[in-house]
Amino acid sequence: MANADRADWHAALCAIVGHTHVLDSDDEAARSYLKEWRGTFSPVARCIVRPESTEQVAAVVRLAAAHDLSIVPQSGNTGTVGGTAADDANGQILLNVDRMEVIREIDPDNATMTVEAGCTLGKAQRAAADAGFYLPIALASREMCCLGGNLGSNAGGLNVIRYGNTRDQVLGLEVVTADGRVWDNLSGLRKDNSGYDLNDLFVGSEGTLGVITACVLGLASPPRQRAVAFCAVSDVEAAVRFQRRIRQDTGDQVTGCELMSAQALSLALAYAPDAECPIEASQAWYLLIEVASAARGRWLSGIFAEALTAGRDAGEITAYAIADDEPGMDALWHLRESIPPAQSAEGASIKHDISLPVSRLPAFLQVALPDVAAVVPGIRPCVFGHVGDGNLHFNLTRPQDITDADFREYEAHLHRVVHDHVVAMRGSVAAEHGVGRLKVDEIQRVKSAVEIDMLRAIKRALDPHGRMNPGAVVRLT
């Protein structure tokens, strides 16, 4: 781009969003937008642009197209797979929607809320609660992550077993297309069989097909009854059997079912000074289970306790502790939420965000655990995740007798070992965090040729010039 042309383009960009909302990549204020949390990428961009309306987003996209520039959409920048890691200092605009945080409407009779993509999940949840509803997307990063990123990655979370992924809450979208037009589908309809489901197409597309600027989300009734139990189990087969029992015995009132290995629990207890295990920690595996109901009364905790006793009598769990008051439940959940930061504190880890049919989790662990140990003797698998929906964080902590750098040398080999087992069992190597740039090559390796062709066909149809988040999700060649 010639200097004169660049000056004209920059002035036009400032005219659209205001001079203070166009940041050069070397500005101090740009650092937070160019941070990639895992340290795998070093993002660079021509500039960061912060529009405050859908009209401004559309104008920026049209201007970029006129100057043959690409757009990398970004909201809260809390992703872990490099989805917003812009990588072209001359040809890419990082378009951040954090100024677009308006809750446009809450419709009580339709049980929906219409909210912009830059709104944090926490803010949206508080607004829903103030209106007497519950927005059922449960993420630990709720005060930092934004709905645009939740939608773009189809974020999972802690209560998928009951409420589904983010896409299951979506009843409409507003999207700026790759050519700068606006698709307004903020209808809030629960039934619409008038063609392809375009909402579903954009959710999980990670900004590669367009820029999501607003959404209509379905709202649930807030839980009136809750209880949480922390259980010891002898093996993963018993954990799978027990989660099925709890779902049946409580009438599908399970909202969370988290599996933790002894290694994961030990790290949480070592690094979180206020974390305490409520039972004797002597088993190889543990379960944290939450049940909840919006129905009135106090019946759920009794049914839950009966199911726990039945599971212990059947040998599915060996011990348990139950809480139905807020401090007690928070303390049990704190054990689970302390695992990721504790693992980071312990040293380098090689992470795998995978999913399998729930029934195949035991078989996967039976073959994957010895195979990774054969690659790196002394490796410490830190396994935890959402056993109720088959999503595991199969993370591998370095052996205590090698350096972080030496352990990283095994990363490609370990990824292949783990992912090959996942694919052989009809699982996914990208479960709840998306593909981003981190897993593009691996997705192309493990998916069938016909599936890659379909992904590319969709990309070409909606973004024929490849200007929307190039390099993420799928490559055109």
pLDDT at 241 over 80: yes
Percent of the chain with pLDDT over 70: 99
pTM for this entry: 0.93
Question: Which of 96, 116, 142 is the last residue in one of the domains?
Answer: 96
Question: Which of 435, 454, 470 is the last residue in one of the domains?
Answer: 435
Q: Is residue 188 part of a domain?
A: yes
Same domain, 311 and 402: no
pLDDT at 4 over 70: no
Q: Is residue 460 part of a domain?
A: no
pLDDT single digits (tens) 267-293: 999 999 889 999 987 889 999 999 999
Same domain, 254 and 327: yes
Same domain, 160 and 249: no
Report the CATH number at residue 44.
Answer: 3.30.43.10
Same domain, 117 and 212: yes
Same domain, 193 and 298: no
The whole-angstrom separation of Cα 96 and Cα 116 is 12
Count of the separate structural domains present in the chain: 4
Q: Is residue 115 part of a domain?
A: yes
Q: What's the Cα-to-Cα distance from 283 to each of 30, 218, 277, 319, 371, rounded to whole Å?
A: 47, 40, 12, 10, 22
pLDDT of residue 334: 94
Same domain, 65 and 137: no
Q: Is residue 455 part of a domain?
A: no
Question: Which of 96, 115, 146 is the last residue in one of the domains?
Answer: 96
Same domain, 286 and 243: yes
The token pair that represents 70 in the structure block? 């690409």
In terms of Cα–Cα distance, which of 170, 173, 125 is closest to 145?
125
The whole-angstrom separation of Cα 115 and Cα 97 is 12
pLDDT single digits (tens) 321-341: 999 999 999 999 999 999 999
pLDDT at 7 over 80: no
Stretch 170-186: mean pLDDT? 98
Same domain, 233 and 167: no
Give the range of the structural domain holding residue 16, as residue numbers without chain letter: 3-96
Same domain, 91 and 117: no
pLDDT of residue 15: 95
Report the CATH number at residue 365.
Answer: 3.30.70.2740
Report the CATH number at residue 230.
Answer: 3.30.70.2190
Among 25-29, 75-79, 84-88, 415-419, the minimum mean pLDDT is found in 25-29
Q: What's the Cα-to-Cα distance from 402 to each of 235, 263, 349, 376, 414, rounded to whole Å?
A: 29, 18, 12, 10, 16
Q: Is residue 171 part of a domain?
A: yes
Q: Is residue 166 part of a domain?
A: yes
Report the CATH number at residue 148.
Answer: 3.30.465.10
Same domain, 204 and 185: yes
108, burial (CB in 10 Å: exposed 0-12, middle 13-18, buried 19+)? exposed
pLDDT single digits (tens) 443-458: 999 999 999 999 999 9
pLDDT single digits (tens) 50-103: 999 999 999 999 999 999 999 999 999 999 999 999 999 999 999 999 999 999
Q: Is residue 441 part of a domain?
A: no
Q: Is residue 398 part of a domain?
A: yes
Q: How far apart, in Å, do the first and last CA atoms of the chain sit?
A: 25
Higher pLDDT, 281 or 256: 256
Strands (E), 195-264: 210-218, 225-233, 254-261
For the chain, the residue count is 477
69 contacts 92 by C-beta, under 8 angstroms: yes
Percent of the chain with pLDDT over 90: 91
pLDDT at 2 over 80: no
pLDDT at 430 over 60: yes
Give the pLDDT band of residue 157 (cuts 50, 70, 90). confident
Stretch 382-406: mean pLDDT? 94
pLDDT single digits (tens) 243-254: 999 999 999 999
Work out the mean pLDDT of the chain and round it to a whole number: 94
> What DSSP string describes 258-324?
EEEEHHHHHHHHHH-TT---SS---SSEEEEEEEEESSSSS-HHHHHHHHHHHHHHTTS-SEEEEE-
pLDDT at 3 over 80: no
328, burial (CB in 10 Å: exposed 0-12, middle 13-18, buried 19+)? middle
In terms of Cα–Cα distance, which of 158, 335, 357 is closest to 231?
335
pLDDT of residue 6: 66
Same domain, 112 and 213: yes
In terms of Cα–Cα distance, which of 137, 136, 140 is closest to 334?
140
Distance of CA 257 to the CA centre of its chain: 17
Same domain, 191 and 214: yes
